[in-house]
Amino acid sequence: MTSFLIPAFLLLILVLVLLLRPLFFPAKESATSRRQMNAAIYREELDKLEADRLSGAVDSASYEQTHAEMRQRLSQDTDEADDLAVLGSPKKTIIGICIFVVLLSGGFYFFLGDASRISEKNAEKPMTQESVEKMVSEFAAKMEKEPDNLKGWAMLARSYRILGRNAEAEKAYARAGSFVDADPQLLADYADVLAANANGNFAGKPLQLINKALTLDPNNLLALWLSGTAAFNAQNYKAAVQSWERLAKQLPSDSDEARAIAASITEARSKGGLSPASAPVISNKGVSGQVDIALDLKPKIKSGDVLMVIARKPGERMPVAVLKTAVTAFPMSFVLNDALAMSPNALISQLPEVLLEVRISKTGMAMPEAGDLISKPQTIKVGTTNARLMIDQVRP
């Protein structure tokens, strides 16, 4: 916090010095006041009147009358307070401006800025293994004073597990009691700790916890992995393959985790003498129809443009099927089915409906680009054979 406030304070002082410079260093020659100016003008007029009298241009009676009137006006115009004194005390002005600027800048900073966050950020220090161990130890001491805080014991157990202190984690999970029983992820974590402490043996309580976790959440990733591992260790390779295949369906096909699971499945099939996974049956069920284009957009089509018909599951961004072909004469026919699936685990034939859209791209890239010709997305039932899609927009 100090490293920020010191430069900010110095910058504020610099601004105030520049702003108040005329008050700190007043001009050496005083400016002419209104009283002084009026007196000089009347003095000049009186001198001119005297010259006219001496030259005979004005007689004595007119001279006296005019002279008296001019003296009266001079007295009235110079009777007002001198305007140079209206400014008041420079010292009070300086103090007032300083207070105003400081309060205004401080108000803006604390309203729009975040002094506490800056202070916390600067106070942060890189976390070390020692500091983490100290924090967990302090948390454990606190939990000893709160034996009925089941959620706290579960948090402490996960902390021990992350640190690799499985013996302490097992005890903490046990003290978490019923709080663990309702959470499939905590059940899977607890089973993992118990199996690790038993040198990879899942018999007994670890397997019970895994089955309970899968009952609560059949797609829990850790529970599926542990279930497959337990079956593999028990030489029940068919059950291992089933668990791991369910796990693989939830992972991105190009991820390291998916490749590792695929290798484990292959090994289980090999050891169990199971036949290799058969290729998925390609279904002809999908969506077909025609694509047309608005007349005013036809001149925008160039040779080499690529037409793409894209099908998505409503509410998701990842396509389930994509048809990519060169632009020919319109209207163009299209067919989307499982043969054009983006993933064997997400097939258009398995969906009740899809969101269809058409795009004509200059580059054929998957990402939409400005200038692409597009249609409005339409929700169409799978099995439809007469869908009509109209390209009538230009992507901004």
Q: Quick one: what percent of the chain has pLDDT higher than 90?
A: 18
Classified as helix, coil or strand, 328 is: coil
Q: Is this structure's pTM higher than 0.85?
A: no
Judged against a pLDDT cut of 70, whether residue 241 lies above it is answered with yes
Look at 63-72, 158-167, 235-244 and tell me which has the smallest mean pLDDT: 63-72
Judged against a pLDDT cut of 60, whether residue 129 lies above it is answered with yes
Q: What is the mean pLDDT of residues 376-382?
A: 93
Q: Answer with the residue of higher pLDDT: 170 or 278.
A: 170
Cβ neighbours of residue 220 closer than 8 Å, sequence gap 6 or more: 184, 185, 188, 213, 214
Structure tokens at 135: 């924090």
Question: Would you state the pLDDT for residue 86?
Answer: 47
Helices (H) and strands (E) in the chain — how many of each?
14, 8
**What is 287-316 written as a DSSP string?**
EEEEEEE-GGGGGG--TT-EEEEEEE-TT-
Cβ neighbours of residue 148 closer than 8 Å, sequence gap 6 or more: none
pLDDT band, very low/low/confident/very high, at 85 (cuts 50, 70, 90) = very low
What is the distance between the alpha carbons of residues 393 and 396, in angstroms, rounded to a whole number?
Answer: 9
Buried b (16+ CB within 10 A) or exposed e, 226-239: bbbbbbbeeebbeb
> What's the chain's average pLDDT?
79
Question: Would you state the pLDDT for residue 333?
Answer: 92
Q: Answer with the residue of higher pLDDT: 68 or 142.
A: 142
Fold of the domain built from segment(s) 131-272: 1.25.40
Q: Which of 169, 244, 232, 165 is nearest to 202 (CA)?
A: 232
Q: Answer with the residue of higher pLDDT: 310 or 362.
A: 310
65-74, 194-203, 276-285, 357-366: which is most confident? 194-203
Query: Residues of CATH 1.25.40.10 domain(s) within the chain?
Result: 131-272
**Angle at 242 (CA atoms; ends 240, 244), nearest 5 degrees:** 70
Question: Would you state the pLDDT for residue 293?
Answer: 93
Query: Residues of CATH 2.60.40 domain(s) within the chain?
Result: 287-394
Judged against a pLDDT cut of 90, whether residue 287 lies above it is answered with yes
Question: Would you state the pLDDT for residue 48?
Answer: 80
Which CATH code of 2.30.29, 3.90.380, 2.60.40, 3.10.20 fits the domain covering 287-394?
A: 2.60.40
Longest dimension (CA), the chain: 144
Question: Would you state the pLDDT for residue 210?
Answer: 92
Q: What is the mean pLDDT of residues 269-292?
A: 77
Answer whether 34's CB lies under 8 Å from 76's CB. no
